[in-house]
Chain A
Amino acid sequence: AQKITQTQPGMFVQEKEAVTLDCTYDTSDPSYGLFWYKQPSSGEMIFLIYQGSYDQQNATEGRYSLNFQKARKSANLVISASQLGDSAMYFCAMRDQPTLNSGGSNYKLTFGKGTLLTVNP
């Protein structure tokens, strides 16, 4: 079963407007973390924002905020006042309970397929 679902392959937004990128997740673990990463065309993977499953408040980092709805298992990224430099692929990821193997605890991230955001001038 897919653990992270990003239903929007592509999104367009006008410069200076806000945009919401959707992410739903599936886990039975009570303790998990949700992440958003940005991947520009140059390829690097840039951390944007984190939400823990026990966090009472929605996470915010500058122009980024995470709309965390635990009961609905959704963790949508909101980008306010879009800029041309925001054009990139955006990935939602989840780290649920670390698996304990012979090599210790594995904090593997499971990624969604991504949403390509294009900001138009």
Chain B
Amino acid sequence: EAQVTQNPRYLITVTGKKLTVTCSQNMNHEYMSWYRQDPGLGLRQIYYSMNVEVTDKGDVPEGYKVSRKEKRNFPLILESPSPNQTSLYFCASSLFATTKNIQYFGAGTRLSVL
């Protein structure tokens, strides 16, 4: 089954404790992206990647890191989480195409930073 898999689905942590949210897709997609969803602010892009070893900042990259060592994986790293990073996080992937590049989303990761 074609899918984007995020883990964990739910995470409660404390300020400053490094964490990684994993994202994996089995559709051989080149493009992958991370969004966060917050009430009143909607979905905002954090980082994106066009292919292996090619990443760049989105609209709200502060406090986050990413890596793309393999085509299928695109982990999101919070080196020192803070309460303002409490949010619902989504990973998305799509083919690298200028038309009909449908982005498929993972099921989301609900993060609470205490």
- Give the CA-CA distance A45 to B107 in the complex, in Å: 6
User: Which residues of chain B have C-beta atoms less than 8 A from A104's C-beta?
Assistant: 50-51, 54, 56
Closest CB in chain B relative to A88 CB, distance in Å = 14
User: Which residues of chain B have C-beta atoms less than 8 A from A102's C-beta?
Assistant: 56
- Give the CA-CA distance A44 to B59 in the complex, in Å: 22
- Give the CA-CA distance A43 to B102 in the complex, in Å: 19
Contact (A31, B100) CB under 8 Å given A101-B56, A103-B49? no
Closest CB in chain B relative to A45 CB, distance in Å = 4
Contact indicator B105/A108 (Cβ below 8 Å): no
Contact indicator A47/B110 (Cβ below 8 Å): no
**Interface size bucket, B side?**
20 to 34
User: Which residues of chain B have C-beta atoms less than 8 A from A113's C-beta?
Assistant: 42
Contact indicator A103/B90 (Cβ below 8 Å): no
- Give the CA-CA distance A111 to B57 in the complex, in Å: 18
User: Which residues of chain A have C-beta atoms less than 8 A from B59's C-beta?
Assistant: 108
- Give the CA-CA distance A20 to B112 in the complex, in Å: 35
State whether the Cβ of A98 lies closer than 8 Å to any Cβ in chain B.
yes
Contact indicator A105/B50 (Cβ below 8 Å): yes
Closest CB in chain A relative to B71 CB, distance in Å = 14
State whether the Cβ of B82 lies closer than 8 Å to any Cβ in chain A.
no
- Give the CA-CA distance A31 to B103 in the complex, in Å: 17
Contact indicator per residue, chain A 33-77, by CB within 8 Å of chain B (1) or not (0): 101010000111111001010100000000000000000000000
State whether the Cβ of A107 lies closer than 8 Å to any Cβ in chain B.
yes
User: Which residues of chain A have C-beta atoms less than 8 A from B110's C-beta?
Assistant: 43
User: Which residues of chain B have C-beta atoms less than 8 A from A109's C-beta?
Assistant: 35, 43, 45, 92, 103
State whether the Cβ of A106 lies closer than 8 Å to any Cβ in chain B.
yes
Contact indicator per residue, chain B 76-98, by CB within 8 Å of chain A (1) or not (0): 00000000000010101010101
Q: Residue of A at shortest CB range from B97?
A: A107
Interface residues of B (CB under 8 A from A): 31, 33, 35, 42-43, 45, 48-51, 54-59, 88, 90, 92, 94, 96, 98-108, 110
**9 residue pairs from A and B, CB less than 8 Å apart:** A35-B102, A43-B108, A47-B102, A54-B99, A101-B56, A103-B50, A104-B54, A107-B101, A109-B45
Interface residues of A (CB under 8 A from B): 31, 33, 35, 37, 42-47, 50, 52, 54, 91, 95, 98, 101-109, 111-114
